[in-house]
Amino acid sequence: MIVCFDIGGTAIKGALAYSAEDIRPVPRQPTPLHDFEAFVAVMRAVIETAGERPDCVALSIAGIIDPDTALAVVANVPCIHGRPLKADLEAALGLPVLIANDADCFVLAEAGIGAGRGHRVVFGVILGTGVGGGLVIDGRLINSDGGFAGEWGHGPVAATEAGHPPARLPRFQCGCGLAGCIDAICSARGLEKLHQHLHDETLTSEEIIKAWSEQDPLAARTIDVYVDVLAGPLALVANVTGATIMPVGGGLSNVPALLAEIDRAVRARILRKFNRPLIVRAECRIEPGLIGAALLGLKG
């Protein structure tokens, strides 16, 4: 049995996991943002509900463990940001601790019990507030020791011409400090910036998608350019990793027609040809971070 947590800026979600099929959530608790002792106390209280000593504790965090320094980079929870989190928690809890990024936990969940079941190489894609991902091979994370593997949304690779016919595009500034990242143009906010650039019209991503579904020509042009920008880098990810399934999570994954367009565009650009969808909607729609943390600990 392991105890797992999904650490968010608002709440800590916990569960007791006995197997991949037996994950028992406990009531969520507010996240102590500025008090590490209070943060540990929340975790300890969940551990005590187990009534037995767990094999380990596993965490999903909205951040990363720097593989060079072992320090946590978790901007939304200041009390754990900049700490040697694994060492500090092991000392405080007296248990082994495993930690993974939330996108990594998402793809672990998909590989273990979701759309990636039966696939040796699974690349999970996040399309929502940000663009991210994670890679699982033979049931195990590439990022077993922390790090940035799977972050295909960052790097100055976004096309400066895209669509049919091609539209000229700026290299939007990204929050990571670079310009021209896929995150900056293909996240939900990026989609809005793209539409504004193409049509000088301010709409939310939800409004753009709705208009597209209603065959609005301006929205159709935006989606055409969006898919063209997205498909090339994602096809490169498929070629480099050898992924045979790429489950998608995040807010934009809730639009099946958009995923179908992305899938067609990506499959037209990759070396290995599939007669079935490669880009699919994630199946773990509820608590993928918690499920992934559970699987991280159970495999640990």
Domains: count for the chain: 2
* 183 and 81 part of one domain: no
The predicted model scores a pTM of: 0.92
Q: Are 299 and 58 in contact (CB under 8 A)?
A: no
Answer yes or no: do 165 and 63 share one domain: no
Predicted pLDDT of residue 143: 84
Please indicate, yes or no, whether residues 157 and 236 belong to a single structural domain of this protein.
Answer: yes
Give yes or no: residues 152 and 274 share one domain: yes
What pLDDT score does 148 carry?
A: 86
Q: 145 and 78 in one domain? A: no
Cα(259)–Cα(84) distance, rounded to whole angstroms? 39
Report the SS3 class of residue 213. Answer: helix
Mean pLDDT of the chain: 95
**What is the pLDDT at residue 147?**
80
Residue whose C-alpha is closest to residue 188's, from 218, 213, 209: 209
My answer on whether 100 and 153 are in the same domain is no
Same domain, 127 and 262: yes
Q: Is the pLDDT of residue 285 over 80?
A: yes
pLDDT tens digits, 10-54: 999 999 999 988 999 999 999 999 999 999 999 999 999 998 999
Q: Choose among 213, 206, 188, 208: nearest CA to 198.
A: 208
Q: Which residues pair with 144 in a beta bridge?
A: 146
Same domain for 196 and 58: no
246-274 residue pLDDT tens? 999 999 999 999 999 999 999 999 999 99
pLDDT digits (tens, 9 = 90+) for 166-219: 999 999 999 889 999 999 999 999 999 999 999 999 999 999 999 999 999 999
Domain check: are 143 and 51 in the same one?
A: no
What range does the domain containing 197 cover? 119-281
On whether residue 113 sits in a domain, the answer given is: no
